[in-house]
């Protein structure tokens, strides 16, 4: 190291005051801010999605927490209801007559049928249950709240409209193209399209006037890929054309200019700017009048949906509840807990405290780590092939569900237990061994009690994960349709909360959208409670050594 090189280095010291250096530093800071912005954007994106997810569930789900009900005044005629066997009466007829009694002017089978569609098909059962519970009411006039059927429930809550757009975007687009050609006019309250037709003698004699009209109409849509646009022409266009030919027989074989009417929806669209039709969920326009009458008479109310928690599943969304799913999940979790908790703790104690470090324990550890990452659907396959086929356990039963879930929960509990055991300081162990305790006594009497809060925390988190598992339960059939909660048991067919959500999400009725969201909110509520308990345990009992 000579003085020459050092002085050269010194003289080459960077000129931080130069403009180039300042620019460079500036751009480096800009880069730094950019990375920070990307980070904030990423987190913001994730948070926004979380927000959208939760709000959309609340938005779609909150309506399911109230049910639109109509008050039904029923005279419980003892002639119709035998007080000895109240459950055997024809409640369908009683409900029918009671409800039709509100609308004495509605006659005719079809009208009455439409009217009866306002109340839920479950109404007779509700009345039956009421009478069976209150047999002393027989012979009296009672007021019973029965749910309205799904479309009216949704209508009253404002989820679905009375009228919907009759035409889709692309239909309107197509029509817009026609309008821009300036051939449309509405001279006498009905929109007509002015077009040139060739009155082919052959077709005229065969009476194929609609073919002639359609042929000519096609000319307006040279780029159309299909012939859906013919629906724009009114159904009476052919008749109008025929009338024109009959009035002007000399035009046959020539081209003529005619004005043909267009169909109702497009007519409305042209004249009023919008085309609406009655929501097809409703049978006729009259039902709105009837329903409005019920509303104005103050017979309609929206009490809290206790049915969501106390009813079992139903094909009618306004009656469907989660009682079956909640009890099924509870039973499966109970089985899962009874298996995975003792087994997990025993296994973890062995691995952490007793196991020699050898091939066998290495294999077990690798196995546990891998099991935690095996796709849940594979556990379902295992349950199906082993528990159902080899052991012949009943399909759809909570015991099988619980067993499969316990295999999935086991790694979580083992890992948590080992961590909790590890956290107990050696001083405690030494103290126990020092007074002559055996290793088993040391673990059972001293280490395990101190590790228990951590173990419980891990167990609850594992059970919360198990509560949300769906795929393995689907494979072992724990998505049974359970319409009553009378026959619940660990060997009985059952359903679970997540599989119920899956089943409802697949149902076509509009009301199940809100029911599904509500069920998800209930599930998330349970998960939140379990996690809150876990956090509480962790903060309250876990000590730092």
Q: Which residue from 235, 375, 425, 525 is in contact with another protein, where contact means CB under 8 A?
A: 375
Q: Which segment (68-76, 135-143, 212-220, 367-375) binds another protein by CB under 8 A?
A: 367-375
Residue 233 contacts residue 260 (beta carbons within 8 Å): yes
Q: Is 520 in the site for another protein (CB under 8 A)?
A: yes
Of 34, 113, 194, 422, which one interacts with another protein (CB under 8 A)? 34
Among positive and negative, which fits the CA dihedral 82, 85, 87, 90? negative
With beta carbons less than 8 A apart as the criterion, state whether 463 and 530 touch. yes
The binder of another protein chosen from 299, 471, 485, 533 (CB under 8 A): 471
Query: Which runs of consecutive H residues, i.e. helices, occur in 254-311?
Result: 264-272, 286-296, 307-310
- Among the listed residues 181, 389, 487, 539, the single contact to another protein using CB under 8 A: 389
Q: Using CB under 8 A, which of 78, 90, 248, 367 touches another protein?
A: 367
Give the total residue count for the chain: 545
Nearer to another protein, 245 or 473 (CB): 473
The residue within the footprint of another protein, chosen from 5, 180, 272, 358 (CB under 8 A), is: 5
Q: How far is CA 306 from CA 66, 132, 302, 542, in A?
A: 8, 20, 12, 38
Which single residue is written with the structure tokens 């999940």? Answer: 329
**37-43 CB contacts, 8 Å cutoff, 24+ apart:** none
Contact pick of 142, 251, 256, 474 for another protein (by CB under 8 A): 474
**Residue ranges of the alpha helices (H) in 62-108?**
91-100
> Measured between alpha carbons, how far apart are the two ends of the chain, in Å?
54
CA angle 528, 529, 532 (to 5 degrees): 85
Closest CB 490 distance from another protein, rounded Å:
11
Tell me: does residue 454 bind another protein (CB under 8 A): no
Options 151, 498, 509, 522; binder of another protein; rule CB under 8 A: 498
Q: For 167, which DSSP code?
A: S
- Could you tell me if 174 and 228 are in contact, meaning their C-beta atoms sit under 8 angstroms apart? yes
Residue 28 touches another protein, criterion: CB under 8 A: yes
The nearer residue to another protein, 206 or 366, going by C-beta atoms, is 366
State the number of binding residues for another protein (CB under 8 A): 104
Q: Is there a contact between 348 and 356 (Cβ–Cβ < 8 Å)? A: no
Of 89-97, 157-165, 220-228, 514-522, the window that binds another protein (rule: CB under 8 A) is 514-522
- Burial degree of 319 (CB within 10 A; 0-12, 13-18, 19+): buried
Among 172, 283, 299, 371, binds another protein (CB under 8 A): 371
- Residue 14 or 109: the one with the smaller Cβ distance to another protein is 14
In the region spanning residues 43 to 62, those forming contacts with another protein, defined by CB under 8 A, are: 43, 45-47, 49-50, 52-53, 56-57, 60
Query: Binding segment for another protein among 151-159, 256-264, 294-302, 494-502 (CB under 8 A)?
Result: 494-502
**For residue 141, how many other CB atoms are within 10 A of its CB?**
11
Our finding on whether 393 is near another protein (CB under 8 A) is yes
Which tokens is 535 given? 């956090």
* Residue closer to another protein, measured from CB, 242 or 492: 492
* Minimum CB distance to another protein smaller for 94 or for 467: 467
260 forms beta bridges with 193
222 phi/psi in degrees, rounded to 5: -65, -25
CB neighbourhood size of 259 (10 A): 17
| In the block, residue with structure tokens 């899956």 | 502
32 binds another protein (CB under 8 A): yes
User: Does position 464 bind another protein by CB under 8 A?
Assistant: yes
Establish if 9 lies at the interface with another protein (CB under 8 A).
yes
Structural tokens at position 435: 């007074």
391 or 545, CB closer to another protein? Answer: 391
Q: Which two tokens stand for residue 481?
A: 């349709």
Q: Choose one: 105-113, 122-130, 261-269, 338-346; the region binding another protein (CB under 8 A).
A: 338-346
**Taking contact as CB under 8 A, which single stretch among the options 157-165, 284-292, 379-387, 424-432 is the one that binds another protein?**
379-387
Interaction residues for another protein, span 61-80 (CB under 8 A)? none
Which is nearer to another protein, 256 or 393 (by Cβ)?
393
Q: Whole-angstrom Cα distance, residue 455 to residue 347?
A: 13
Name residues contacting another protein, limited to 233-272 (CB under 8 A): none
Residue from the set 116, 142, 355, 428 that interacts with another protein by CB under 8 A: 355
Site mask for another protein (CB under 8 A), range 404-443, x = bound: ---x--xx--x-----------------------x-x---
In sign, the C-alpha dihedral spanning 460, 461, 467, 470 is negative
């Amino acid at each position: 190291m000579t003085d020459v090189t050092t002085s050269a280095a010194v003289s080459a010291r960077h000129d931080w005051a130069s403009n180039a250096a300042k620019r460079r530093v500036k751009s480096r800071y800009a880069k730094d801010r950019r990375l920070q912005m990307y980070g904030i954007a990423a987190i913001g994106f994730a948070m926004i999605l979380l927000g959208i997810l939760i709000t959309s569930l609340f938005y779609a789900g909150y309506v399911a927490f109230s049910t639109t009900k109509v008050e039904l005044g029923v005279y419980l005629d003892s002639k119709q209801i035998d007080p000895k066997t109240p459950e055997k009466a024809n409640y369908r007829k009683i409900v029918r007559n009671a409800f039709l009694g509100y609308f004495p002017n509605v006659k005719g089978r079809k009208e009455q049928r439409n009217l009866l569609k306002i109340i839920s098909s479950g109404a007779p059962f509700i009345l039956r249950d009421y009478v069976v519970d209150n047999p002393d009411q027989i012979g009296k006039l009672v007021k019973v709240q029965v749910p309205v059927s799904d479309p009216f429930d949704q209508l009253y809550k404002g989820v679905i409209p009375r009228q919907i757009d009759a035409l889709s975007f692309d239909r309107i687009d197509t029509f817009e193209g026609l309008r821009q050609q300036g051939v449309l006019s509405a001279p006498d309250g009905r929109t007509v399209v002015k077009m040139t037709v060739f009155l082919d003698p052959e077709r005229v004699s065969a009476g194929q006037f609609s073919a002639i009209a359609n042929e000519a109409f096609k000319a307006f849509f040279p780029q159309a890929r299909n012939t859906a646009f013919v629906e724009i022409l009114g159904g009476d266009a052919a008749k109008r054309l025929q009338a024109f030919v009959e009035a002007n027989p000399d035009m046959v074989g020539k081209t003529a200019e005619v004005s043909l009417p267009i169909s109702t929806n497009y007519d409305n669209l042209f004249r009023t700017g919008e085309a609406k039709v009655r929501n097809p969920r409703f049978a006729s326009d009259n039902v709105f009048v009837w329903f409005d009458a019920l509303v104005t008479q103050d017979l309609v109310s929206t009490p809290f949906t206790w049915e969501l928690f106390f009813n079992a599943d139903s094909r009618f969304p306004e009656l469907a509840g989660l009682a079956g799913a909640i009890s099924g999940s509870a039973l499966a979790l109970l089985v899962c807990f009874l298996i995975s908790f003792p087994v997990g703790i025993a296994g973890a104690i062995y691995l952490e405290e007793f196991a020699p470090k050898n091939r066998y324990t290495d294999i077990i550890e690798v196995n546990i780590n891998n099991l935690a990452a095996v796709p849940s659907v594979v556990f379902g396959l295992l349950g199906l092939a082993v528990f159902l086929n080899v052991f012949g356990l009943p399909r759809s039963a909570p015991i099988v569900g619980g067993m499969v879930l316990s295999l999935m929960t086991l790694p979580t509990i083992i890992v948590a237990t080992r961590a909790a055991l590890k956290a107990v300081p050696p001083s405690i162990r030494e103290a126990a061994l020092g007074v002559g305790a055996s290793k088993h006594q040391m673990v059972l009497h001293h280490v395990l009690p101190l590790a228990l809060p951590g173990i419980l925390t891990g167990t609850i988190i594992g059970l919360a994960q198990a509560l949300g598992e769906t795929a393995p339960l689907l494979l072992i059939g724990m998505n049974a349709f359970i319409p009553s909660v009378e026959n619940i048991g660990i060997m009985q067919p059952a359903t679970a909360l997540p599989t119920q959500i899956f089943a409802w999400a697949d149902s076509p009725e509009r009301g199940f959208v809100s029911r599904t969201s509500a069920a998800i909110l209930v599930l998330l509520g349970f998960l939140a409670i379990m996690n809150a308990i876990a956090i509480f345990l962790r903060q309250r009992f876990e000590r730092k050594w």
